Amino acid sequence: MRLTFVSHIGPAPKTQRFEGHAYYQSAGEGRYQGTWFDSSGQVRPIVASGTAGTLVAAWGTAETEQGETTYRLTTSNRMELVDRVRGKDGTWREFGRSTLSRTLRDA
């Protein structure tokens, strides 16, 4: 499975585009492994687990940066994403929250 994320950050005319791609494969029974690649040059391993309507993806390594992204379906056409990163002191900080809407029908 491939996930593509695109965000435009900041006001025009200095808006910056950020894009990332994650590639996931099933590791059995609601578990997934993957890799994240983004436009800032970051490549991070992903270990994820899912239950009905929610996927939690832990990414990064202790040597780099560690974080997690939670994908939660709120309706059949809407999804909430929450991104958190772990600080050097071990505390978690939310750095992104998005609500996404389906715009295309399944093919």
Residue with tokens 């006001």: 11
Q: For 91-104, how does the pLDDT look when each residue is reduced to its tens digit (9 = 90+)? A: 999 999 999 888 77
Q: Name which of 54, 57, 53, 49 is nearest 26 in CA terms.
A: 49
Q: For 19-46, how does the pLDDT look when each residue is reduced to its tens digit (9 = 90+)? A: 999 999 999 999 999 999 999 999 999 9
Total domains present in the chain = 1
Q: For 48-68, how does the pLDDT look when each residue is reduced to its tens digit (9 = 90+)? A: 999 889 999 999 998 889 999
Q: Looking at the domain assignment, is residue 106 inside a domain?
A: no
Residue 36 CB neighbour total at 10 angstroms: 21
Query: What is the DSSP code string of 75-103?
Result: ETTEEEEEEEEE-TTS-EEEEEEEEEE--
Domain that holds residue 55: 2-8+16-101
Q: Looking at the domain assignment, is residue 57 inside a domain?
A: yes
Does this model's pTM top 0.75? My answer is: yes
Query: What is the DSSP code string of 31-71?
Result: EEEEEEEETTS-EEEEEEEEETTEEEEEEE-TTS-EEEEEE
Q: Looking at the domain assignment, is residue 107 inside a domain?
A: no
